[in-house]
Each structure stands twice: as structure tokens, then as C-alpha cells.
Amino acid sequence: MLKPAQIVRGFPFAICCQMPKTTSMSSPDAHSRGIKRSRSHNKSPLPKTNRPDLKHRVKFFIISDTHDLLPTTDPTSAFRPPPYDTDVILHCGDLTEDGMPLSISAGLKMLGGLPGELKLLIAGNHEISLDKEYWLTQTDSVSGHERAIAMVHNAAIEHGVTYLTEGMHTFTLKSGAAFSVYATPYTPKFGESAFQYESNEDRFNVTSPSWAVNVSTPASRVPAGVDIMMSHGPAKYILDNNTGTEHGSSAGCPHLRRALVRAKPKLFCFGHVHKGWGAQRLEYPKIGTTKAGEDGTGLQDEEDGLVVYPKEWVGGANQLRRQGFARISENAEQQVRDGDFGLALNAAVKSVDDAGPNPGWLVELELESR
């Protein structure tokens, strides 16, 4: 039972793959060859320069919640390294199980060994040694937290990984492609763990509904127009079913959802809820189509105008579908250029019960020079 890296192709996702668990491919090399064949039809004729009017197709490999798991080339494992021509690695937190510096350093070594020009990591609720506030509830050793931060910082540099704290970050690749990332490790409180906040606390927006307490800071607020939102946990009702059943409970954050509707990123990636693994298209509300203000206040989740499409599934006898490709929209390119659509990915690698690991997601975005 093979589940190779899931592929979202085109601009930025003209075709989306979610391989059914009964679908198999012969090897990771076959997976890479499939990508090359598909790309040959989409290759831009423009040269790679830093002219701002040029577009660059950039491959992102997205994973989360690896919990000390290592990718392998074993064809029986779903969690495999990405293709050699991957440009950017995104890890959405819970790199480790115990959250201690030695485990985090080992995880950074794993990320550093993956192909890619740029490797970005955020913490998750398991990275307890990196959250000073939580750490001091478990021990009175401030120096222990400081040593952990220093050790992880040095390991990140050694292995070529960039550890992102909460806030806005911008990057430019060698090709000239530039993009912005809003990152946050925080999730609603559930049990005792790191990087958590009370469910009525809104840290992502300038203003909040009357029932919420606004605790946002300039760094924690999601800016409008960001290309990628990278959080540890999901937004409300988006791949956040924590039971895996049709009527399971929703573990996502309503404040993060309002920020998502306001920011309209091309890509929204996260993990945390292991049973929510999957992909969904997002259709953002057009200006003036809801009663909300620009900050997204004044509406309940059901009224925010965001359309969340069902999970994508690949099946049927078509050869491309057997390889893991499925066209999701004939006019997806223009819809994303217009800012009307985005893609949500729950990239939790560690599954639940006795199921094997989930594969990562491979997403190709078209980005501009800046």
C-alpha cells in the first residue's frame, strides 16, 4: 500500500492529487518522472531573471507532525523524500515527540538532508523547550530554555534550516522568485502543552467579535496579502475534524479562520489534527459580498463568505489519475491570479492508530520577482 508524495500541480494548483490509499507507484523515481512529464506542458518560456514581471514556478514540499519520523526510500512507506528538484521545504511543527533540544537537533538534521534551496520550520505544541512561558510552568530553570534556544539555533545554522518565529517573513530564491510567509506555532489550548492560547483569545486580528478577547500584537496579526500562511493548527472547519468521522468535532480556530478570509493567501498549510490530513480548495469572498468589515469582524464562521470545497480525491481508470493527478479547475490559474481561490493543506505525516504515515504534499506555486 503506497502513498507517494501528494502532488498539487499547475498555477498554483491547476491539478491536485490526493492518492487513494489503494493506489501505488513503483518507486520514488517513478514519482519524479511523472512530475517531469507534467511540467513539460507548463514550462515558462521566459528566462530566469529578476525582472518583476516574470513568473517563476516554485516547488514546495510540505510536511507537519513528523514526531521524530524519518523519510525513507522504502517503497512500502508513504513518507518519502521529495523529488530532487524541490525548491522549498515547509515543516508546520511537531518535528519531535518530546520537544527536547537533542530531538529537535536530530529533526533539523533530517530536514537539512532533504533536497531544497530553502527549508523553513515552525514549532508545534510538542516543542516544549522552545516556549519559555510553558517551560517555566514545568521548571524554574530559565537557563534551560536559553540553552535549548541556543542549541537549536546552532543546529539550524549547521543544517541549513530557517526556524521561523511568529510573524511575517519574506524570502527571495536564487531564481528571483519572492514570496511572503506568515508563521505561527500557536494553537487553541487543549491539555497541557506548548504554544497555546485560550479559545476565546484572538491573537490574529486587529479587532475581534464581542465574545472574544483581543490579545494580538503587531507580530501575531496576520497581514493582508500574504502569499503563504503557515500555522501549526488548522482554522475552524478546515481539515480540523479530530475524530475522522462525518460528525466529528472541529478542533480549528475561529480567529485564525477570520484572519484567513481577510488575508486570502495562495497557500494555507498546517497540521496538528492528524485525522484531518488532506487538501481542500478555498474560494474567498469578493469585496462587498459579505457584511464583515475589512478586518473580518461582525460575522459568525457560517457567514464569512468563505467556500471550503470537499476534499480532493483521485480515482477512476484514467492513466493520469492512476499516477496521482486530477484536474480540479479549468480556470484555476486565473482564479488564483485574481485572488479568488487558495489551497488548504493538512500535512500531518504521523497518522493515528496503527495506520502508516501519511505522505507529504508537493505544491507548485507561480511566484513573481520582487
Q: Which domains occur in the chain, in start order? A: 6-17+55-71+79-368 (3.60.21.10)
Grid look-up 508546520 returns 92
Rounded to whole angstroms, how far apart are CA atoms 137 and 101?
18
Instruction: State the Cα–Cα distance between residues 31 and 7, nearest whole angstrom.
Output: 10
In this prediction, residue 30 carries a pLDDT of 31
Q: Is 51 left (phi over 0), alpha (psi -120 to 50) or beta?
A: beta
Considering only CA atoms, which of 215, 227, 151 is closest in space to residue 183?
227
The pLDDT profile of the chain, 370 residues, written as one tens digit per residue, is 334 455 544 333 433 333 333 322 223 333 332 222 233 333 333 344 455 567 899 999 999 999 999 999 988 888 999 999 999 999 999 999 999 999 999 999 999 999 999 999 999 999 999 999 999 998 878 888 999 999 999 999 999 999 999 999 999 999 999 999 999 999 999 888 999 999 999 999 999 999 999 999 999 999 999 999 999 999 999 999 877 666 668 889 999 999 999 999 999 999 999 999 999 999 999 865 555 445 444 455 557 889 998 876 544 444 444 444 444 555 666 666 666 889 999 999 998 876 789 999 999 999 998 7
User: Which residues does 58 contact at the CB level (< 8 Å), separation at least 6?
Assistant: 87, 88, 173, 175, 177, 179, 364, 365, 366, 367
What is the predicted pLDDT for the residue at 149? 93
